[in-house]
Structure 1
Amino acid sequence: MQVKDMTVNELKVLIRETLEEVLEEFFSDPDEGEEVREEVKQQLLESKKRRQAGVRGIPAEEVYKKLGITHS
């Protein structure tokens, strides 16, 4: 069936279904169902502890400089 042969409601349904598919692909988690490695868990826990203790990470300006990124 071609679009020119569709009713308005059929076209709306097609658009809605297409939009739902695209949004699901866009917002889906590619790592869903995967396990986090133990070393990554430990790194995240250590990072969380540092943040709770008030230790800040690398300032954004330093990251920009290291990566050679200019920003406004």
Structure 2
Amino acid sequence: MQVKDLTVEELKLLIQETVTETLQNLLTDSDEGKQLKPEVKQQLLDSLEKTQAGEGGISAEEVAKKLGLTW
């Protein structure tokens, strides 16, 4: 069947199903259920601890410069 052969209601339903499917794909966490490697988990915990202690990180401008981007 071609789109030209659909009724208005059938076309609306097709569009609705397509939008719903697309949103579900975009909102699904592809990392769900996966475990962090212990070293990555430790790096994140260390970073959080430093941030909570008031230590600054790398500025966005510095990151952009390292990547050759104009900020």
* Superposed pair shares fold, TM > 0.5: yes
How well do the aligned residues superpose, as a CA RMSD in angstroms?
A: 1.3
**TM-score, normalised by the number of residues in structure 2:** 0.86
1:57-72 paired onto structure 2 within 5 Å: 57-71=57-71
Matched letter for residue 70 of structure 1: T
User: 1:64 Cα shift?
Assistant: 1.3
What is the SS of the residue equivalent to 1:11? helix
**TM-score, normalised by the number of residues in structure 1:** 0.85
Counterpart in the other structure of 1:16? 16
Gaps of 5+ in 2: none
Count of equivalent residues: 71
Gaps of 5+ in 1: none
User: 1:24 Cα shift?
Assistant: 1.8
What is the SS of the residue equivalent to 1:69? coil
Q: Percent identity?
A: 59
User: 1:27 Cα shift?
Assistant: 2.4
State the 4+ residue runs in structure 1 displaced beyond 6 angstroms: none
Aligned partners of 2:33 and 2:13: how far apart in 1? 31
1:1-72 paired onto structure 2 within 5 Å: 1-71=1-71
